[in-house]
């Protein structure tokens, strides 16, 4: 069993102005001479943390973590203007060029996997390979599943999530209501809606872990700063969901055949109901030579022990593969 690597410190931190006013937070760890790998966080709007460095051998990888526009330590926090999938794809190229990297490995999960595929299809000549977790393809059917059809599996949680929304006949009804509440409502309405949105996401992610699911559903007593960070995250999530992630329906699957041969590992939990296994299977079928690893006791979370072990295993395997190719 391969465990997470020990905690390591960043050896360089950068701030990079992109667009008219977005300022990205970027950090590097591991070894400057190592295989470049960029970690793409989920959400959108979640941000990175120091634990994300631990999936990579620090003696073999040059690890780049960055917070996407409006997320984490990037500024302004929660800003949705000039914040689209196409902007984030352009940011990746700006970061790569700024750091003097020719080609890099993409390591990403959930929304990060979406962004990886969008970037790969535009800049495939800049990619060494991909490790993708909990694949999200950002299709309308994926939104209908997460926001509407899941009421069949989690009826009480969905009722609590949707009880202010009327009429509620589709995912769009829910998304539009929450978008209006967090972007246009007063402080009390916005924070209440943000908490409901976040609680639903947590209940879905933790559904198979009864004790943690119960704990995640308890309304946390957040201080003012924590509340503002949560609201910022939900503003970005609702912004992207309302605009269908700035992608045409099924765009990622339709264009994935354009990718040249490269090593691709797809890791997905069988118990993941946030992003369904069929998305990972369809992506695997669309990328010749890709590797699909399914984890029978694991859901969507990156820190599930089985998931963490599998990701480190793939990171180590990719290290050996790319060392032979470079």
Residues with catalytic function: 110, 272, 300
Q: What phi and psi, each to the nearest 5 degrees, are found at residue 28?
A: -120, 140
Q: What is the dihedral angle through the alpha carbons of 256, 257, 259, 263, rounded to the nearest 10 degrees? A: 90
- Exposed/middle/buried for residue 163 (C-beta within 10 Å: 0-12, 13-18, 19+): exposed
Cα–Cα distances (Å) from 91 to 71, 94, 267, 269, in that order, read 13, 5, 25, 30
What number of other Cβ atoms are within 10 A of residue 225's Cβ?
8
Judge whether 54 and 4 are in contact, CB under 8 Å.
yes
What number of other Cβ atoms are within 10 A of residue 35's Cβ?
25
């Amino acid at each position: 069993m391969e465990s997470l690597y020990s905690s390591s410190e960043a050896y360089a931190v950068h701030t990079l102005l992109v667009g008219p006013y977005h300022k990205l937070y970027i950090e590097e760890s591991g070894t400057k001479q190592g295989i470049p790998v960029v970690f793409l966080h989920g959400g959108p709007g979640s941000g990175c943390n120091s634990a994300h460095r631990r999936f990579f051998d620090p003696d073999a990888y040059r690890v780049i973590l960055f917070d996407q526009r409006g997320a984490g330590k990037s500024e302004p926090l929660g800003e949705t203007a000039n914040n689209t999938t196409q902007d984030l794809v352009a940011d990746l190229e700006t970061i790569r060029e700024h750091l003097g990297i020719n080609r890099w490995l993409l390591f990403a999960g959930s929304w990060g996997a979406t962004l990886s595929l969008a970037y790969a299809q535009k800049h495939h000549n800049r990619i060494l390979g991909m490790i993708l977790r909990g694949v999200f393809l950002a299709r309308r059917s994926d939104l209908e599943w997460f926001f509407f059809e899941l009421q069949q599996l989690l009826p009480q949680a969905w009722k609590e999530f949707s009880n202010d929304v009327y009429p509620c006949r589709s995912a769009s009804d829910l998304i539009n209501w929450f978008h209006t509440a967090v972007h246009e409502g007063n402080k009390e309405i916005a924070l209440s809606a943000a908490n409901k949105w976040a609680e639903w996401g947590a209940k879905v992610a933790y559904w198979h872990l009864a004790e943690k699911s119960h704990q995640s559903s308890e309304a946390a007593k957040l201080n003012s700063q924590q509340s503002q960070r949560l609201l910022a995250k939900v503003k970005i999530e609702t912004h992207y969901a309302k605009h269908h992630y700035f992608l045409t329906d099924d765009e990622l699957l339709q264009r994935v055949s354009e990718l040249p041969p490269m090593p691709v590992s797809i890791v997905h939990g069988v118990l993941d109901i946030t992003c369904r296994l069929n998305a990972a299977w369809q992506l695997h079928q669309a990328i010749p030579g890709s590797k699909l690893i399914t984890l029978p006791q694991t859901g969507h979370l990156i820190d599930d022990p089985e998931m963490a072990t599998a990701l480190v295993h793939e990171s180590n395997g990719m290290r050996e593969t790319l060392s032979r190719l470079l």
